Structure 1
Amino acid sequence: MSKVLNVALIQTALVWENPKENRRLLNEKINTVNSGVDLFVLPEMFTSGFTMNPSLVAETMEGETLSWLKEKAKEKNAVMLGSLVITENGNFYNRMVCVEPSGAVTCYDKRHTFTLAGEDKVYTAGTEKVIFNYKGWKICPLVCYDLRFPVWARNVEDYDLLIYVANWPKVRVAAWDALLQARAIENMAYCIGVNRVGLDGNNYEHSGHSVAYDVLGKRLDQIPEDTETIEIVTLEKAAIKKYRDKLNFLNDADAFSLKVQTQ
Protein backbone atom coordinates (compact mmCIF):
# COMPACT_ATOMS: atom_id res chain seq x y z
CA MET A 1 0.00 0.00 0.00
CA SER A 2 1.25 3.45 -0.93
CA LYS A 3 0.92 6.21 1.66
CA VAL A 4 0.74 8.82 -1.08
CA LEU A 5 -0.60 8.92 -4.63
CA ASN A 6 0.86 11.38 -7.13
CA VAL A 7 -1.69 12.27 -9.79
CA ALA A 8 -1.04 14.24 -12.99
CA LEU A 9 -4.04 16.25 -14.22
CA ILE A 10 -3.79 16.85 -17.98
CA GLN A 11 -5.84 19.89 -18.99
CA THR A 12 -5.63 20.11 -22.77
CA ALA A 13 -7.32 21.17 -25.97
CA LEU A 14 -8.54 18.36 -28.25
CA VAL A 15 -8.46 18.07 -32.02
CA TRP A 16 -11.98 17.41 -33.28
CA GLU A 17 -12.62 13.79 -34.32
CA ASN A 18 -8.94 13.03 -34.91
CA PRO A 19 -7.70 10.18 -32.67
CA LYS A 20 -4.27 9.92 -34.29
CA GLU A 21 -3.46 13.60 -33.81
CA ASN A 22 -4.80 13.61 -30.25
CA ARG A 23 -2.64 10.62 -29.37
CA ARG A 24 0.39 12.38 -30.84
CA LEU A 25 -0.21 15.59 -28.91
CA LEU A 26 -0.99 13.81 -25.66
CA ASN A 27 2.08 11.64 -26.09
CA GLU A 28 4.22 14.81 -26.24
CA LYS A 29 2.58 16.19 -23.11
CA ILE A 30 2.90 12.97 -21.12
CA ASN A 31 6.57 12.67 -22.10
CA THR A 32 7.31 16.02 -20.41
CA VAL A 33 6.45 14.47 -17.05
CA ASN A 34 9.34 12.83 -15.23
CA SER A 35 9.10 9.76 -13.03
CA GLY A 36 7.19 9.78 -9.76
CA VAL A 37 3.63 10.00 -11.07
CA ASP A 38 1.28 7.16 -10.15
CA LEU A 39 -1.72 8.12 -12.26
CA PHE A 40 -2.31 10.31 -15.33
CA VAL A 41 -5.84 11.69 -15.86
CA LEU A 42 -6.92 12.67 -19.39
CA PRO A 43 -10.23 14.38 -20.32
CA GLU A 44 -13.45 12.78 -21.50
CA MET A 45 -13.33 11.51 -25.11
CA PHE A 46 -9.66 12.48 -25.27
CA THR A 47 -9.23 11.05 -28.76
CA SER A 48 -12.05 13.00 -30.39
CA GLY A 49 -13.78 15.64 -28.31
CA PHE A 50 -17.43 15.21 -27.33
CA THR A 51 -18.68 13.99 -30.68
CA MET A 52 -22.11 12.65 -31.53
CA ASN A 53 -20.61 10.96 -34.61
CA PRO A 54 -19.18 7.86 -32.92
CA SER A 55 -18.81 5.84 -36.09
CA LEU A 56 -16.09 8.28 -37.25
CA VAL A 57 -13.83 7.71 -34.25
CA ALA A 58 -14.90 4.52 -32.49
CA GLU A 59 -12.32 1.88 -31.66
CA THR A 60 -12.39 -1.57 -30.14
CA MET A 61 -10.70 -2.59 -26.92
CA GLU A 62 -7.95 -4.03 -29.12
CA GLY A 63 -7.55 -0.77 -31.06
CA GLU A 64 -4.68 1.69 -31.44
CA THR A 65 -5.59 3.87 -28.48
CA LEU A 66 -5.73 1.01 -25.98
CA SER A 67 -2.40 -0.27 -27.31
CA TRP A 68 -0.93 3.22 -26.92
CA LEU A 69 -2.28 3.57 -23.38
CA LYS A 70 -0.76 0.22 -22.41
CA GLU A 71 2.60 1.30 -23.81
CA LYS A 72 2.49 4.61 -21.91
CA ALA A 73 1.35 2.96 -18.68
CA LYS A 74 4.28 0.53 -18.84
CA GLU A 75 6.75 3.23 -19.88
CA LYS A 76 5.70 5.64 -17.12
CA ASN A 77 4.93 2.92 -14.56
CA ALA A 78 1.61 4.65 -13.94
CA VAL A 79 -2.10 4.25 -14.54
CA MET A 80 -3.44 6.00 -17.66
CA LEU A 81 -7.06 7.05 -17.24
CA GLY A 82 -9.53 8.81 -19.55
CA SER A 83 -12.59 8.12 -21.71
CA LEU A 84 -12.92 7.41 -25.42
CA VAL A 85 -15.49 6.09 -27.88
CA ILE A 86 -15.60 2.30 -27.90
CA THR A 87 -17.67 0.07 -30.16
CA GLU A 88 -18.72 -3.31 -28.80
CA ASN A 89 -21.49 -5.77 -29.68
CA GLY A 90 -23.03 -3.30 -32.12
CA ASN A 91 -23.21 -0.48 -29.55
CA PHE A 92 -21.18 2.67 -28.91
CA TYR A 93 -19.99 3.53 -25.40
CA ASN A 94 -18.43 6.58 -23.80
CA ARG A 95 -16.01 4.39 -21.89
CA MET A 96 -13.58 5.33 -19.18
CA VAL A 97 -10.52 3.09 -19.32
CA CYS A 98 -8.07 2.74 -16.45
CA VAL A 99 -4.92 1.10 -17.79
CA GLU A 100 -2.32 -0.14 -15.29
CA PRO A 101 1.43 -0.69 -15.94
CA SER A 102 0.80 -4.44 -15.83
CA GLY A 103 -1.56 -4.09 -18.81
CA ALA A 104 -4.66 -4.71 -16.69
CA VAL A 105 -7.63 -2.61 -17.82
CA THR A 106 -10.64 -1.54 -15.75
CA CYS A 107 -13.59 -0.10 -17.68
CA TYR A 108 -16.48 2.13 -16.70
CA ASP A 109 -19.22 3.02 -19.19
CA LYS A 110 -20.73 6.46 -18.58
CA ARG A 111 -24.01 5.90 -16.76
CA HIS A 112 -25.66 9.29 -17.33
CA THR A 113 -25.63 10.05 -21.05
CA PHE A 114 -26.10 13.76 -21.75
CA THR A 115 -29.62 14.06 -23.16
CA LEU A 116 -29.26 17.78 -23.88
CA ALA A 117 -26.71 16.93 -26.58
CA GLY A 118 -28.45 13.74 -27.71
CA GLU A 119 -25.77 11.47 -26.27
CA ASP A 120 -28.51 9.08 -25.14
CA LYS A 121 -29.56 8.61 -28.77
CA VAL A 122 -26.18 7.37 -30.01
CA TYR A 123 -24.38 5.94 -26.97
CA THR A 124 -25.44 3.07 -24.75
CA ALA A 125 -25.51 3.99 -21.06
CA GLY A 126 -23.54 1.97 -18.56
CA THR A 127 -25.27 0.07 -15.77
CA GLU A 128 -22.49 -0.63 -13.27
CA LYS A 129 -20.57 1.54 -10.85
CA VAL A 130 -16.90 0.57 -10.81
CA ILE A 131 -14.24 0.76 -8.11
CA PHE A 132 -10.67 -0.31 -8.85
CA ASN A 133 -7.73 -0.73 -6.51
CA TYR A 134 -4.26 0.59 -7.27
CA LYS A 135 -1.41 0.63 -4.76
CA GLY A 136 -3.93 0.16 -1.98
CA TRP A 137 -6.08 3.10 -3.09
CA LYS A 138 -9.73 2.48 -3.93
CA ILE A 139 -10.60 4.67 -6.91
CA CYS A 140 -14.04 5.47 -8.37
CA PRO A 141 -13.97 6.69 -12.02
CA LEU A 142 -16.95 8.68 -13.36
CA VAL A 143 -17.63 10.76 -16.48
CA CYS A 144 -18.87 14.35 -16.95
CA TYR A 145 -22.70 14.38 -16.65
CA ASP A 146 -22.46 11.77 -13.86
CA LEU A 147 -21.37 14.70 -11.69
CA ARG A 148 -24.94 16.04 -11.50
CA PHE A 149 -26.21 12.84 -9.86
CA PRO A 150 -24.83 12.47 -6.32
CA VAL A 151 -26.53 9.15 -5.55
CA TRP A 152 -24.40 7.43 -8.20
CA ALA A 153 -21.23 8.73 -6.52
CA ARG A 154 -22.38 7.98 -2.97
CA ASN A 155 -19.44 6.52 -1.06
CA VAL A 156 -20.87 3.22 0.15
CA GLU A 157 -17.73 1.36 -0.99
CA ASP A 158 -15.33 3.30 1.27
CA TYR A 159 -13.38 4.54 -1.75
CA ASP A 160 -10.49 6.98 -1.33
CA LEU A 161 -10.52 8.90 -4.60
CA LEU A 162 -13.29 10.02 -6.92
CA ILE A 163 -12.27 11.04 -10.45
CA TYR A 164 -14.39 12.83 -13.05
CA VAL A 165 -13.25 13.42 -16.64
CA ALA A 166 -15.21 15.86 -18.78
CA ASN A 167 -15.93 18.04 -21.78
CA TRP A 168 -17.84 20.51 -19.59
CA PRO A 169 -18.69 23.77 -21.45
CA LYS A 170 -17.67 27.17 -20.13
CA VAL A 171 -21.27 28.42 -20.10
CA ARG A 172 -22.10 26.01 -17.24
CA VAL A 173 -18.72 25.78 -15.53
CA ALA A 174 -20.04 27.25 -12.25
CA ALA A 175 -21.95 24.00 -11.73
CA TRP A 176 -18.78 21.99 -12.41
CA ASP A 177 -16.89 24.00 -9.78
CA ALA A 178 -19.58 23.72 -7.12
CA LEU A 179 -20.45 20.06 -7.60
CA LEU A 180 -16.88 18.76 -7.60
CA GLN A 181 -16.24 20.40 -4.25
CA ALA A 182 -19.55 19.08 -2.92
CA ARG A 183 -18.69 15.51 -4.00
CA ALA A 184 -15.42 15.67 -2.06
CA ILE A 185 -17.11 16.99 1.07
CA GLU A 186 -20.14 14.69 1.11
CA ASN A 187 -18.13 11.54 0.34
CA MET A 188 -15.13 12.40 2.54
CA ALA A 189 -12.84 11.42 -0.34
CA TYR A 190 -10.34 13.15 -2.55
CA CYS A 191 -12.11 14.41 -5.66
CA ILE A 192 -10.38 15.21 -8.95
CA GLY A 193 -11.99 16.70 -12.04
CA VAL A 194 -10.18 16.99 -15.37
CA ASN A 195 -11.84 19.06 -18.08
CA ARG A 196 -10.65 20.09 -21.55
CA VAL A 197 -10.02 23.61 -22.86
CA GLY A 198 -10.67 25.25 -26.23
CA LEU A 199 -13.40 25.19 -28.86
CA ASP A 200 -14.90 21.92 -30.03
CA GLY A 201 -16.33 21.08 -33.43
CA ASN A 202 -19.70 22.51 -32.44
CA ASN A 203 -18.14 25.83 -31.36
CA TYR A 204 -18.71 25.17 -27.66
CA GLU A 205 -16.02 26.78 -25.54
CA HIS A 206 -14.35 24.89 -22.69
CA SER A 207 -12.39 26.68 -19.99
CA GLY A 208 -10.88 23.79 -18.06
CA HIS A 209 -11.29 24.45 -14.34
CA SER A 210 -9.58 21.12 -13.69
CA VAL A 211 -9.18 20.72 -9.95
CA ALA A 212 -8.29 18.51 -7.00
CA TYR A 213 -10.03 18.71 -3.61
CA ASP A 214 -9.22 17.02 -0.33
CA VAL A 215 -11.77 15.31 1.92
CA LEU A 216 -12.82 18.61 3.48
CA GLY A 217 -13.25 20.38 0.14
CA LYS A 218 -9.95 22.27 0.28
CA ARG A 219 -8.40 22.91 -3.13
CA LEU A 220 -5.00 21.27 -3.62
CA ASP A 221 -4.00 22.53 -7.07
CA GLN A 222 -3.20 25.83 -8.76
CA ILE A 223 -4.33 25.00 -12.29
CA PRO A 224 -5.12 28.13 -14.34
CA GLU A 225 -8.28 28.21 -16.43
CA ASP A 226 -8.31 28.42 -20.24
CA THR A 227 -4.75 27.07 -20.36
CA GLU A 228 -3.19 23.82 -21.53
CA THR A 229 -1.21 22.53 -18.58
CA ILE A 230 -0.24 19.52 -16.51
CA GLU A 231 -0.20 19.71 -12.74
CA ILE A 232 0.80 17.00 -10.31
CA VAL A 233 -0.99 16.78 -6.96
CA THR A 234 0.01 14.58 -4.04
CA LEU A 235 -2.75 12.81 -2.13
CA GLU A 236 -2.10 11.44 1.37
CA LYS A 237 -3.84 8.31 2.59
CA ALA A 238 -3.38 9.26 6.25
CA ALA A 239 -5.43 12.43 5.78
CA ILE A 240 -8.47 10.38 4.75
CA LYS A 241 -8.35 8.22 7.87
CA LYS A 242 -7.63 11.20 10.12
CA TYR A 243 -10.72 13.14 9.15
CA ARG A 244 -13.05 10.17 8.74
CA ASP A 245 -12.13 8.94 12.23
CA LYS A 246 -12.43 12.39 13.73
CA LEU A 247 -15.68 13.50 12.07
CA ASN A 248 -17.44 10.17 11.42
CA PHE A 249 -19.79 11.70 8.83
CA LEU A 250 -19.97 8.68 6.51
CA ASN A 251 -21.23 6.45 9.33
CA ASP A 252 -24.21 8.76 9.82
CA ALA A 253 -25.38 8.55 6.19
CA ASP A 254 -28.84 7.26 5.33
CA ALA A 255 -29.04 3.63 4.32
CA PHE A 256 -30.41 3.04 0.84
CA SER A 257 -30.31 0.65 -2.09
CA LEU A 258 -30.00 1.59 -5.73
CA LYS A 259 -31.77 -0.25 -8.51
CA VAL A 260 -30.23 0.10 -11.94
CA GLN A 261 -32.59 -0.66 -14.79
CA THR A 262 -30.91 -2.49 -17.64
CA GLN A 263 -31.99 -2.03 -21.22
Structure 2
Amino acid sequence: MKDDLKIALVQTDLVWENPEQNRLNFGEKIKSIKEEVDIIILPEMFTSGFTMNAKSVAETMDGVTVSWLKDMAKTVQSAVAGSVVISEDGSYFNRFLFVEPSGKLSYYDKRHTFTLAGEHKVYTAGKSKLILDYEGWRICPLVCYDLRFPVWARNTENYDILLYVANWPVPRIDAWDALLKARAIENMSYSIGVNRIGVDGANIGYCGSSACYDVLGKKISEIPMNKEVIEIVNLSKNHIRKYRNALKFLEDRDEFNLLM
Protein backbone atom coordinates (compact mmCIF):
# COMPACT_ATOMS: atom_id res chain seq x y z
CA MET A 1 0.00 0.00 0.00
CA LYS A 2 1.29 3.42 -0.93
CA ASP A 3 0.36 6.84 0.41
CA ASP A 4 1.81 8.41 -2.71
CA LEU A 5 1.28 7.30 -6.30
CA LYS A 6 3.18 8.29 -9.44
CA ILE A 7 1.25 8.16 -12.69
CA ALA A 8 2.61 8.75 -16.20
CA LEU A 9 0.18 10.36 -18.66
CA VAL A 10 1.14 9.56 -22.26
CA GLN A 11 -0.24 12.19 -24.64
CA THR A 12 0.64 11.32 -28.23
CA ASP A 13 -0.49 10.90 -31.82
CA LEU A 14 -1.79 7.53 -33.04
CA VAL A 15 -1.21 5.69 -36.31
CA TRP A 16 -4.58 5.09 -37.93
CA GLU A 17 -5.75 1.48 -37.74
CA ASN A 18 -2.22 0.11 -37.33
CA PRO A 19 -1.94 -1.85 -34.06
CA GLU A 20 1.56 -3.14 -34.76
CA GLN A 21 3.06 0.30 -35.37
CA ASN A 22 1.23 1.78 -32.39
CA ARG A 23 2.56 -0.96 -30.11
CA LEU A 24 6.08 -0.27 -31.37
CA ASN A 25 5.68 3.46 -30.80
CA PHE A 26 4.24 3.05 -27.32
CA GLY A 27 6.91 0.50 -26.43
CA GLU A 28 9.59 3.09 -27.15
CA LYS A 29 7.77 5.80 -25.23
CA ILE A 30 7.16 3.61 -22.20
CA LYS A 31 10.77 2.45 -22.08
CA SER A 32 11.92 6.08 -22.31
CA ILE A 33 10.41 6.80 -18.89
CA LYS A 34 13.44 6.95 -16.60
CA GLU A 35 11.58 7.64 -13.36
CA GLU A 36 9.90 4.80 -11.49
CA VAL A 37 6.13 5.12 -11.84
CA ASP A 38 3.20 3.09 -10.58
CA ILE A 39 0.81 3.43 -13.53
CA ILE A 40 1.29 4.36 -17.20
CA ILE A 41 -1.86 5.58 -18.96
CA LEU A 42 -2.35 5.42 -22.74
CA PRO A 43 -5.25 7.00 -24.68
CA GLU A 44 -8.54 5.47 -25.83
CA MET A 45 -8.19 2.91 -28.67
CA PHE A 46 -4.44 3.35 -28.46
CA THR A 47 -3.72 0.68 -31.07
CA SER A 48 -5.96 2.12 -33.78
CA GLY A 49 -7.46 5.53 -33.13
CA PHE A 50 -11.21 5.99 -32.71
CA THR A 51 -12.32 3.82 -35.61
CA MET A 52 -15.73 2.43 -36.54
CA ASN A 53 -13.96 -0.15 -38.70
CA ALA A 54 -13.75 -2.50 -35.74
CA LYS A 55 -13.31 -5.69 -37.76
CA SER A 56 -9.99 -4.55 -39.21
CA VAL A 57 -8.32 -3.87 -35.85
CA ALA A 58 -10.17 -5.98 -33.28
CA GLU A 59 -8.31 -8.49 -31.15
CA THR A 60 -9.32 -11.07 -28.60
CA MET A 61 -8.36 -11.13 -24.95
CA ASP A 62 -5.76 -13.74 -25.95
CA GLY A 63 -4.44 -11.51 -28.71
CA VAL A 64 -1.17 -9.72 -29.37
CA THR A 65 -2.00 -6.44 -27.61
CA VAL A 66 -3.03 -8.07 -24.33
CA SER A 67 0.18 -10.13 -24.38
CA TRP A 68 2.15 -6.98 -25.19
CA LEU A 69 0.57 -5.13 -22.26
CA LYS A 70 1.48 -7.96 -19.90
CA ASP A 71 5.07 -8.07 -21.17
CA MET A 72 5.39 -4.30 -20.95
CA ALA A 73 3.98 -4.11 -17.41
CA LYS A 74 6.34 -6.85 -16.26
CA THR A 75 9.35 -5.28 -17.98
CA VAL A 76 8.90 -1.79 -16.56
CA GLN A 77 7.31 -2.97 -13.27
CA SER A 78 4.40 -0.60 -13.64
CA ALA A 79 0.73 -1.07 -14.38
CA VAL A 80 -0.11 -0.12 -17.98
CA ALA A 81 -3.62 0.95 -19.03
CA GLY A 82 -5.61 2.16 -22.02
CA SER A 83 -8.52 1.09 -24.21
CA VAL A 84 -8.46 -1.16 -27.30
CA VAL A 85 -10.97 -2.74 -29.69
CA ILE A 86 -11.85 -6.21 -28.44
CA SER A 87 -13.87 -8.88 -30.23
CA GLU A 88 -15.75 -11.27 -27.98
CA ASP A 89 -18.72 -13.60 -28.54
CA GLY A 90 -19.56 -12.00 -31.86
CA SER A 91 -19.56 -8.44 -30.49
CA TYR A 92 -17.04 -5.59 -30.43
CA PHE A 93 -16.18 -3.65 -27.29
CA ASN A 94 -14.28 -0.43 -26.63
CA ARG A 95 -12.52 -2.02 -23.68
CA PHE A 96 -10.32 -0.34 -21.07
CA LEU A 97 -7.56 -2.71 -19.99
CA PHE A 98 -5.54 -2.38 -16.78
CA VAL A 99 -2.57 -4.74 -16.56
CA GLU A 100 -0.45 -5.01 -13.42
CA PRO A 101 3.22 -6.08 -13.29
CA SER A 102 2.10 -9.42 -11.86
CA GLY A 103 0.10 -10.05 -15.03
CA LYS A 104 -3.27 -9.51 -13.39
CA LEU A 105 -5.70 -7.99 -15.88
CA SER A 106 -8.86 -6.03 -15.14
CA TYR A 107 -11.17 -4.48 -17.71
CA TYR A 108 -14.08 -2.10 -18.18
CA ASP A 109 -16.28 -1.83 -21.28
CA LYS A 110 -17.21 1.73 -22.26
CA ARG A 111 -20.73 2.36 -20.99
CA HIS A 112 -21.68 5.38 -23.10
CA THR A 113 -21.06 4.69 -26.78
CA PHE A 114 -20.71 7.87 -28.83
CA THR A 115 -23.90 8.02 -30.91
CA LEU A 116 -22.77 11.12 -32.84
CA ALA A 117 -20.12 8.97 -34.54
CA GLY A 118 -22.27 5.85 -34.73
CA GLU A 119 -20.26 4.01 -32.10
CA HIS A 120 -23.49 2.48 -30.75
CA LYS A 121 -24.02 0.75 -34.10
CA VAL A 122 -20.64 -0.98 -33.99
CA TYR A 123 -19.72 -1.48 -30.34
CA THR A 124 -21.66 -3.09 -27.53
CA ALA A 125 -22.05 -0.84 -24.48
CA GLY A 126 -20.78 -2.04 -21.13
CA LYS A 127 -23.13 -2.59 -18.23
CA SER A 128 -20.80 -2.71 -15.22
CA LYS A 129 -18.76 -0.10 -13.42
CA LEU A 130 -15.27 -1.16 -12.35
CA ILE A 131 -13.42 -0.11 -9.20
CA LEU A 132 -9.79 -1.20 -9.23
CA ASP A 133 -7.81 -1.77 -6.06
CA TYR A 134 -4.14 -1.14 -6.79
CA GLU A 135 -1.35 -0.31 -4.36
CA GLY A 136 -3.94 0.65 -1.75
CA TRP A 137 -5.72 3.06 -4.12
CA ARG A 138 -9.24 2.72 -5.47
CA ILE A 139 -9.47 3.69 -9.13
CA CYS A 140 -12.57 4.15 -11.31
CA PRO A 141 -11.65 3.86 -15.02
CA LEU A 142 -13.97 5.34 -17.66
CA VAL A 143 -13.72 6.05 -21.39
CA CYS A 144 -14.13 9.34 -23.30
CA TYR A 145 -17.90 9.98 -23.80
CA ASP A 146 -18.51 8.63 -20.27
CA LEU A 147 -17.15 11.99 -19.09
CA ARG A 148 -20.42 13.71 -20.03
CA PHE A 149 -22.49 11.57 -17.64
CA PRO A 150 -21.88 12.45 -13.97
CA VAL A 151 -24.35 9.91 -12.57
CA TRP A 152 -22.27 7.03 -13.95
CA ALA A 153 -19.12 8.52 -12.41
CA ARG A 154 -20.76 9.31 -9.07
CA ASN A 155 -18.47 8.41 -6.19
CA THR A 156 -20.59 5.94 -4.24
CA GLU A 157 -17.68 3.48 -3.92
CA ASN A 158 -15.26 5.81 -2.09
CA TYR A 159 -12.75 5.71 -4.92
CA ASP A 160 -9.63 7.88 -4.94
CA ILE A 161 -9.00 8.37 -8.66
CA LEU A 162 -11.37 8.92 -11.56
CA LEU A 163 -9.51 8.02 -14.75
CA TYR A 164 -10.58 8.83 -18.32
CA VAL A 165 -8.86 7.78 -21.55
CA ALA A 166 -10.06 9.53 -24.68
CA ASN A 167 -10.05 10.54 -28.32
CA TRP A 168 -11.77 13.87 -27.58
CA PRO A 169 -11.80 16.21 -30.61
CA VAL A 170 -10.69 19.82 -30.88
CA PRO A 171 -14.12 21.48 -31.41
CA ARG A 172 -15.36 20.33 -27.98
CA ILE A 173 -12.12 20.56 -25.99
CA ASP A 174 -13.52 23.29 -23.71
CA ALA A 175 -16.14 20.79 -22.55
CA TRP A 176 -13.38 18.24 -21.87
CA ASP A 177 -11.49 20.73 -19.69
CA ALA A 178 -14.59 21.83 -17.78
CA LEU A 179 -15.99 18.35 -17.19
CA LEU A 180 -12.69 16.85 -16.02
CA LYS A 181 -12.44 19.59 -13.43
CA ALA A 182 -16.09 19.24 -12.42
CA ARG A 183 -15.77 15.47 -11.93
CA ALA A 184 -12.88 16.06 -9.50
CA ILE A 185 -14.80 18.65 -7.48
CA GLU A 186 -18.12 16.81 -7.23
CA ASN A 187 -16.54 13.44 -6.38
CA MET A 188 -13.73 14.78 -4.17
CA SER A 189 -11.27 12.58 -6.02
CA TYR A 190 -8.34 13.04 -8.34
CA SER A 191 -9.63 13.32 -11.91
CA ILE A 192 -7.25 12.32 -14.70
CA GLY A 193 -7.84 12.53 -18.44
CA VAL A 194 -5.46 11.26 -21.12
CA ASN A 195 -6.34 12.42 -24.63
CA ARG A 196 -4.56 11.95 -27.95
CA ILE A 197 -3.24 14.54 -30.40
CA GLY A 198 -2.99 14.64 -34.21
CA VAL A 199 -5.47 13.98 -37.00
CA ASP A 200 -7.11 10.58 -37.48
CA GLY A 201 -8.16 8.70 -40.62
CA ALA A 202 -11.59 10.31 -40.49
CA ASN A 203 -9.90 13.74 -40.67
CA ILE A 204 -10.84 14.59 -37.08
CA GLY A 205 -8.30 16.65 -35.14
CA TYR A 206 -7.23 16.24 -31.52
CA CYS A 207 -5.17 18.60 -29.36
CA GLY A 208 -4.64 16.60 -26.17
CA SER A 209 -5.29 18.83 -23.16
CA SER A 210 -4.57 15.82 -20.97
CA ALA A 211 -4.69 16.81 -17.32
CA CYS A 212 -4.88 15.85 -13.67
CA TYR A 213 -7.02 17.71 -11.11
CA ASP A 214 -6.94 17.30 -7.33
CA VAL A 215 -9.99 16.91 -5.06
CA LEU A 216 -10.59 20.68 -4.99
CA GLY A 217 -10.44 20.98 -8.77
CA LYS A 218 -6.93 22.44 -8.92
CA LYS A 219 -4.94 21.39 -11.97
CA ILE A 220 -1.70 19.74 -10.85
CA SER A 221 -0.34 18.92 -14.31
CA GLU A 222 1.35 21.10 -16.93
CA ILE A 223 0.75 19.36 -20.24
CA PRO A 224 0.90 21.54 -23.36
CA MET A 225 -1.65 21.08 -26.14
CA ASN A 226 -0.70 19.57 -29.50
CA LYS A 227 2.57 18.10 -28.27
CA GLU A 228 3.70 14.56 -27.61
CA VAL A 229 4.38 14.55 -23.89
CA ILE A 230 4.81 12.08 -21.08
CA GLU A 231 3.99 13.85 -17.83
CA ILE A 232 4.36 12.27 -14.41
CA VAL A 233 1.93 13.42 -11.73
CA ASN A 234 2.27 12.72 -8.01
CA LEU A 235 -0.89 11.86 -6.09
CA SER A 236 -1.19 11.94 -2.29
CA LYS A 237 -3.57 9.96 -0.08
CA ASN A 238 -3.02 12.56 2.63
CA HIS A 239 -4.43 15.21 0.29
CA ILE A 240 -7.62 13.18 -0.11
CA ARG A 241 -7.93 12.46 3.62
CA LYS A 242 -7.31 16.06 4.59
CA TYR A 243 -10.06 17.56 2.47
CA ARG A 244 -12.60 14.77 2.80
CA ASN A 245 -12.28 15.00 6.58
CA ALA A 246 -12.51 18.78 6.61
CA LEU A 247 -15.14 19.15 3.88
CA LYS A 248 -17.63 16.34 4.24
CA PHE A 249 -19.44 17.08 0.98
CA LEU A 250 -19.70 13.43 -0.03
CA GLU A 251 -21.77 12.73 3.07
CA ASP A 252 -24.48 15.07 1.73
CA ARG A 253 -25.01 13.20 -1.54
CA ASP A 254 -28.55 12.45 -2.66
CA GLU A 255 -29.51 8.81 -2.27
CA PHE A 256 -30.77 6.94 -5.33
CA ASN A 257 -30.22 3.72 -7.25
CA LEU A 258 -29.18 3.56 -10.89
CA LEU A 259 -31.49 1.25 -12.85
CA MET A 260 -29.84 -0.54 -15.76
In structure 2, C-alpha distance between the alignment counterparts of 1:149 and 1:171, rounded to whole Å: 19
In structure 2, the residue corresponding to 1:193 is in which secondary structure? strand
Q: 1:205 matched to which residue of 2?
A: 205
For 1:74-223, list aligned pairs within 5 A.
Answer: 74-223=74-223
In structure 1, C-alpha distance between the alignment counterparts of 2:256 and 2:154, rounded to whole Å: 10
Deviation at 1:240, TM superposition (A): 0.3
| 8 Å Cα contact 1:80/1:98 also seen in 2 | yes
Letter in 1 for 2:63: G
Q: 1:225 matched to which residue of 2?
A: 225
In structure 2, the residue corresponding to 1:194 is in which secondary structure? strand
Letter in 1 for 2:27: N
In structure 2, C-alpha distance between the alignment counterparts of 1:127 and 1:189, rounded to whole Å: 23
Q: 2:250 matched to which residue of 1?
A: 250
Q: 2:16 matched to which residue of 1?
A: 16
Deviation at 1:259, TM superposition (A): 1.1
- Provide, for residues 101-147 of structure 1, a one-character-per-residue CA deviation record: whole Å limited to 9, x for no partner: 11111110000000000000000000000001000000000000000
- Provide, for residues 129-188 of structure 1, a one-character-per-residue CA deviation record: whole Å limited to 9, x for no partner: 000100000000000000000000000000000000000000100000000000000000
In structure 2, the residue corresponding to 1:251 is in which secondary structure? helix
- Provide, for residues 207-253 of structure 1, a one-character-per-residue CA deviation record: whole Å limited to 9, x for no partner: 00000000000011110000011000000011001000000000011
TM-score, normalising length: structure 2: 0.99
In structure 1, the residue corresponding to 2:61 is in which secondary structure? coil
| 8 Å Cα contact 1:70/1:103 also seen in 2 | yes
In structure 1, C-alpha distance between the alignment counterparts of 2:21 and 2:73, rounded to whole Å: 19
In structure 2, the residue corresponding to 1:51 is in which secondary structure? coil
Deviation at 1:199, TM superposition (A): 0.1
- Provide, for residues 80-118 of structure 1, a one-character-per-residue CA deviation record: whole Å limited to 9, x for no partner: 110000000000000000000111111100000000000
In structure 1, C-alpha distance between the alignment counterparts of 2:242 and 2:56, rounded to whole Å: 48
Confirm or deny that 1:34 pairs with 2:34: yes
Deviation at 1:4, TM superposition (A): 0.5
Q: 1:2 matched to which residue of 2?
A: 2
What RMSD over aligned residues (CA atoms) do the two structures have, in Å?
0.5
| 8 Å Cα contact 1:82/1:96 also seen in 2 | yes
Deviation at 1:35, TM superposition (A): 4.2
Q: 2:45 matched to which residue of 1?
A: 45
In structure 2, C-alpha distance between the alignment counterparts of 1:256 and 1:9, rounded to whole Å: 34
- Provide, for residues 29-50 of structure 1, a one-character-per-residue CA deviation record: whole Å limited to 9, x for no partner: 1011024100000000000000
In structure 2, C-alpha distance between the alignment counterparts of 1:202 and 1:35, rounded to whole Å: 36
Deviation at 1:77, TM superposition (A): 1.1
In structure 2, the residue corresponding to 1:121 is in which secondary structure? helix
Deviation at 1:76, TM superposition (A): 1.2
Question: How many residue pairs align between the two structures?
Answer: 260
Deviation at 1:75, TM superposition (A): 1.0
In structure 1, C-alpha distance between the alignment counterparts of 2:257 and 2:78, rounded to whole Å: 34
In structure 2, C-alpha distance between the alignment counterparts of 1:39 and 1:241, rounded to whole Å: 21
In structure 2, C-alpha distance between the alignment counterparts of 1:156 and 1:29, rounded to whole Å: 35
Confirm or deny that 1:235 pairs with 2:232: no
| 8 Å Cα contact 1:35/1:76 also seen in 2 | no
Off by >4 Å, runs of 4+ in structure 1? none
In structure 1, C-alpha distance between the alignment counterparts of 2:77 and 2:133, rounded to whole Å: 15
